Chain A
Amino acid sequence: MTTPLLLRFVEEARDLLQLAASGLLTLERAPDNAPTLNEVFRAVHTLKGSAGLFDIPAFLHLVHAGEDVLSAVRDGSVVLTSDLVDLLLDALDRVGAWVDALAETGTLPADADGLSRDLTLRLRAVLPEPDPQEAANAATAAPAAVALDLDWVLALPEAERLAAFHQARRGQTVLALEYRPAGDCFYSGEDPLALFRQVPDLLALTLAPAEPWAPLDSLDPYACVLVFRALTGAPRLDIETLFRYVIEQVALAPVPPEALLAVTGEPGMGPMIEDYLVQARDQASTGAWDDLRATTRLALDLTGETLQAGAALRALLALLDDPAPDPGWIQAVLDCLATGQPLAGPDSGGRGPEKDTPDASPDLVSRGAPGGLSPTARALLESQRRLLEPGERATLQGRLVAVGRTVANVLEACGQDGAAWREAVAVDGGRPETLARLLETLLETDQGAGSSDGRGGGASSGPVSSDPAFPGPAAAGGGGMAGGAPAGGVVSETHPGAPRILKVDQGRVDALMALIGELVVSKNSLPFLARRAETVFGSREMAREIKDLYAVVDRLAQEMQSAIMAVRMLPVSEVFERFPRLVRDVARRLGKQADLVIEGEETAADKNIIEILGDPLLHILRNALDHGVELPAERVAAGKPALARLLVRAFQESDQVVIEITDDGRGIDPDRIREAAIAKGVISAERAARLSPQESINLVFLPGFSTASAVSDLSGRGVGMDVVVTTIEKAGGSVVLSSVAGQGTTVRLSLPLSMAVTRVMMVEAGGGQLFGIPMDHIAETVRIPRTAIRRIKHSEAFVLRSALVPLLHLDALLGIEPQAWFGDETEEEAVLVVRLGQNLIGLVVDHFREGMDIILKPFDGVLAGLHGYAGTALLGDGRVLLVLNLKELL
């Protein structure tokens, strides 16, 4: 069921989910943290991308919805509240559960679709309704975000342009969209044309190659060279959502209505246009629109369709369709009809707004205080300059005339002195170079003035063509993309400079470590060999050489051992990273406020230790929140800040890793613990009375102890701190609890840095058999005379520094026949005093032997169930050392 691809996905998904979840928590505290937001978005986005490889639609939909919400958060249309974070975290949890299910069964659980739909709906409900008004606002709010050259709009078929014009006149924002797919977009599975199928309210669409087609024999069908240009009446948000994966290849700009109205066509007058013009001007000046419409229809019937005059008449009709036609525009069209100039693109665009558009002209005039050009005027001049760029000689003359007139008009409208310009046109007969240079100076000198009066562009003027920031050739031709992606486009997915990391299966590292362990053991046999060389073969020389060799091998083995240990070392942050989430959730559920502070998360320890740490820490944190931290009101009453502080601190202390969990809650009340312990029958009243406060506190470690008056679902299920202690002790660690009533509690966990090497003391018992006893259990070794042993009924005990210590015989415990004892009462017993929990116990052994580092191998197979032993280790001379598990044994 599970393929390698799926396994990789599962692994990756878990990482991504973790990343997203911790990012969300950071964001909850600091919603403005843009890098984190991007990180979260990217994580979810990547997750969605990878999920697309598998047939898991429920998964995909949910992640997609999450991504949309995050994207909305990113562009500021949705505020990230705590509730939203909850919802997103819920979704992540759900996805996490599915990832687990995928890892196990390779499919999603049966209820996934329903759950996905519910969560998806809840997520989508957060998203703002696509609101045209808002889209329009967004468009006007940042008109300079995208510089889009709109010249191509004029080249659109007239019918489409006029249709769009109608929409625009009705107050709807018409967006111009230019999409230049990346050349390799087909390889990433994109189909730009298919995207346009989804564009709502598509008003116009043109496709053109960005560069001339390559010769057929060298045509690469998989290099996308098309440029898509479209007009749409859809809200900007919708479009941005639709194109969000390629948003950096898309330029969007609202099109002012007047830009849609252009008159193109073959030059030439229709019959009777002169007459028509006289009549029409008359009607226009009196506002007799109905009459004008009738006249115009009539004129249109008589005019050739392809003629420019025809186009002008059609534009006029389009204008007249408006319930309140615009005299300025109508005048403009009539003017253009009268002059009969080939009013291609910019020129007619120039005439429209410049002279006659009521929307634009007040704007133009008011901004165009002497010395300054309004953005519209600048745009016009800019396009004129472009017309002057070298092109076909044939049309040059026509262009020159048109440019000369337009510029003069613009200057006049702006209240600028057009004398110099007119002179240049007249004198030079309009040499393109001269005119271009003159225009350049005109634009440059205006730069300062233009921006100083710049109040940003209005809806009608700002978006027209080139952004002033990109004057000159950069904006020319198709260069309108120079503005690039709108802010907040999808960030590149590559992570430059990521350290190279080798992912290795833990089993291999373990195998390597086992081998190194064997090496250490074999190395230990060299001193035996040296001794044999000396004693058996009588060669001291040989013995010394072997010892020299041993020193070298020993050093190498130790280095290898520490190297492999380092490989297995993990930072404690591996465990810590799920705590912020936990604390947040638990605190919210309990109605408490807590801030988790983590220190020293880079402290490293062996992987096994880290893995063991997780559950106990979780439990301690829950306890702290549940029992320790008070409700905000209580805290305030006690003079503490309402926000409780939970400190988790990790650090290394010699060969131990120490983790302290401190809360500033109410602390543990020894009396209450004592009472509770008596009530639960954990301890008798008499014994309880004799306990010191610290000892009372330690009662919480006893099995079956739980103080929570109401058993909550968080902690206090009867499996209290004793589980923590057991787990930690199993790993060779210890737990210390200290508390000051009213000020808080500290739990301190100490664990060995590594479990790989265990220090044991060897003892001899049962007549020469060797046993290992973990060093951390051993308190001391004493020799006591037999006379000092007291018998209390069947048990033996002795007094060690005025404390009564029970005495047990190791051979009896192990069921080995005790050695026959000869000798007198003065003989001393070797007693190993071991500490088990809080108690000292004396173990009688035959002899003490040396302590040594061993690699402990737990029993497996049929021996696994063997009681009383922790495992085995190989000794240097090849013997097997049984290591005892005193806890089980005693």
Chain B
Amino acid sequence: MPVRPTETLIHVEGGCGPEDALPLLEALQALPPRPVALAECVHLHTAVLQVLMAVRPAVETLPAEPFLARWVVPVLKDER
């Protein structure tokens, strides 16, 4: 499961497909609000990215994957 909420963080790991958008949204809406950890993430499906952009959660770690780091991270930062 690429979206793995824990008590303190929401881990987003591996390659996220469209099916992960809803679980992520639910995790982000759940209380208490938790930051997301994206470090282990290698791809964000557009739907997942959209959720991140819309909800603008606090980001604990940023993805290390080159494409995401180069092009998606600025978007996530910008949005905040």
Q: Are B54 and A205 in contact (CB under 8 A)?
A: no
Residues of B within 8 A of A209 (CB): 50, 53-54
Distance A194 CA – B53 CA, assembled complex (angstroms): 17
Distance A226 CA – B79 CA, assembled complex (angstroms): 13
- A168-208 contacts to B, CB under 8 A, are 181, 186, 190-194, 196-197, 202, 205-207
Q: Are B43 and A186 in contact (CB under 8 A)?
A: no
Number of interface residues of A (CB under 8 A): 25
Q: Are A221 and B22 in contact (CB under 8 A)?
A: yes
- With beta carbons under 8 angstroms apart, the residue of B22, B45, B55, B72 that contacts A191 is B45
Distance A157 CA – B22 CA, assembled complex (angstroms): 31
Q: Are A222 and B53 in contact (CB under 8 A)?
A: no
Distance A194 CA – B25 CA, assembled complex (angstroms): 20
Query: Considering residues A190, A193, A225, A226, which has the most beta carbons from chain B within 10 angstroms of its beta carbon?
Result: A193
Asked whether A207 and B75 contact (CB < 8 A) given A193-B49, A224-B50, the answer is yes
Query: Considering residues A207, A219, A226, which has the most beta carbons from chain B within 10 angstroms of its beta carbon?
Result: A207
Q: Are B54 and A194 in contact (CB under 8 A)?
A: no
Q: Are A193 and B53 in contact (CB under 8 A)?
A: no
Q: CB of A324 within 8 A of chain B?
A: no
CB closest chain-B residue, reference A197: B67
Distance A206 CA – B73 CA, assembled complex (angstroms): 11
Q: Are A186 and B46 in contact (CB under 8 A)?
A: yes
Asked whether A222 and B43 contact (CB < 8 A) given A196-B71, A202-B71, A207-B49, the answer is no
Contact with A along B17-32 (1 / 0, CB 8 A): 0100110110001000
Residues of B within 8 A of A222 (CB): 18, 21-22, 47
Distance A196 CA – B71 CA, assembled complex (angstroms): 10
Q: Are B54 and A207 in contact (CB under 8 A)?
A: no
Distance A217 CA – B43 CA, assembled complex (angstroms): 25
CB closest chain-A residue, reference B66: A197
Q: Are A157 and B43 in contact (CB under 8 A)?
A: no
Distance A207 CA – B72 CA, assembled complex (angstroms): 8
Q: CB of B10 within 8 A of chain A?
A: no
CB closest chain-A residue, reference B44: A193
Q: CB of B62 within 8 A of chain A?
A: no
A209 to chain B, nearest CB (A): 7
Residues of A within 8 A of B59 (CB): none
Residues of A within 8 A of B21 (CB): 186, 221-222
Contact with B along A641-669 (1 / 0, CB 8 A): 00000000000000000000000000000
Q: CB of B58 within 8 A of chain A?
A: no
Contact with B along A602-614 (1 / 0, CB 8 A): 0000000000000
Q: Are B71 and A157 in contact (CB under 8 A)?
A: no
Residues of A within 8 A of B49 (CB): 193, 207, 226
Q: Are A226 and B50 in contact (CB under 8 A)?
A: yes
Q: Are A191 and B46 in contact (CB under 8 A)?
A: yes
A228 to chain B, nearest CB (A): 9
Distance A63 CA – B54 CA, assembled complex (angstroms): 39
Distance A120 CA – B21 CA, assembled complex (angstroms): 37
Q: CB of A216 within 8 A of chain B?
A: yes
- With beta carbons under 8 angstroms apart, the residue of A157, A206, A221 that contacts B50 is A221
Q: CB of A213 within 8 A of chain B?
A: yes
Q: Are A221 and B25 in contact (CB under 8 A)?
A: yes
B25 to chain A, nearest CB (A): 5
CB closest chain-B residue, reference A181: B46
Distance A221 CA – B54 CA, assembled complex (angstroms): 9
Q: Are A193 and B75 in contact (CB under 8 A)?
A: no
- A143-187 contacts to B, CB under 8 A, are 157, 181, 186
Distance A214 CA – B25 CA, assembled complex (angstroms): 13
Q: Are A205 and B71 in contact (CB under 8 A)?
A: yes
Q: CB of B9 within 8 A of chain A?
A: no
Q: Are B71 and A216 in contact (CB under 8 A)?
A: no
Query: Considering residues B67, B71, B74, which has the most beta carbons from chain A within 10 angstroms of its beta carbon?
Result: B71
- With beta carbons under 8 angstroms apart, the residue of A157, A206, A216, A226 that contacts B46 is A226
Q: Are A217 and B29 in contact (CB under 8 A)?
A: yes
Distance A194 CA – B47 CA, assembled complex (angstroms): 11
Distance A24 CA – B53 CA, assembled complex (angstroms): 48
- With beta carbons under 8 angstroms apart, the residue of A190, A191, A205, A207 that contacts B53 is A207
Distance A666 CA – B74 CA, assembled complex (angstroms): 78
B47 to chain A, nearest CB (A): 5
Q: Are A219 and B54 in contact (CB under 8 A)?
A: yes
A194 to chain B, nearest CB (A): 7
Asked whether A224 and B54 contact (CB < 8 A) given A157-B74, A186-B18, A206-B75, the answer is no
Distance A325 CA – B49 CA, assembled complex (angstroms): 42
A195 to chain B, nearest CB (A): 9
Residues of A within 8 A of B51 (CB): 219, 221
Residues of B within 8 A of A216 (CB): 29, 54-55
CB closest chain-B residue, reference A230: B71
A162 to chain B, nearest CB (A): 16
Residues of A within 8 A of B25 (CB): 219, 221
Distance A209 CA – B50 CA, assembled complex (angstroms): 8
Distance A434 CA – B71 CA, assembled complex (angstroms): 43
Distance A222 CA – B44 CA, assembled complex (angstroms): 14
Distance A811 CA – B75 CA, assembled complex (angstroms): 97
Distance A197 CA – B45 CA, assembled complex (angstroms): 11
B17 to chain A, nearest CB (A): 8
A370 to chain B, nearest CB (A): 46
Distance A190 CA – B47 CA, assembled complex (angstroms): 10
A180 to chain B, nearest CB (A): 12
A882 to chain B, nearest CB (A): 67
Distance A152 CA – B29 CA, assembled complex (angstroms): 32
Residues of A within 8 A of B47 (CB): 186, 191, 221-222, 224
Distance A213 CA – B52 CA, assembled complex (angstroms): 11
CB closest chain-B residue, reference A212: B54
B42 to chain A, nearest CB (A): 11
Residues of A within 8 A of B48 (CB): 221
Q: Are B46 and A224 in contact (CB under 8 A)?
A: yes
Q: List 26 A-B contacts (CB under 8 A).
A: A157-B74, A181-B46, A186-B18, A186-B46, A190-B46, A191-B46, A191-B47, A193-B43, A193-B45, A194-B45, A196-B71, A197-B67, A207-B72, A209-B53, A213-B54, A214-B54, A216-B29, A216-B55, A217-B29, A219-B51, A219-B54, A221-B22, A221-B25, A221-B51, A222-B21, A224-B50
17 more contacts with CB within 8 A, not counting A186-B47, A206-B75, A207-B49, are A157-B74, A191-B47, A192-B46, A193-B46, A193-B49, A194-B45, A197-B43, A197-B67, A207-B53, A209-B50, A216-B54, A217-B29, A219-B51, A221-B21, A222-B18, A225-B50, A226-B49
Minimum-distance CB pairs A-B, first 3 = A221-B21, A213-B54, A193-B46
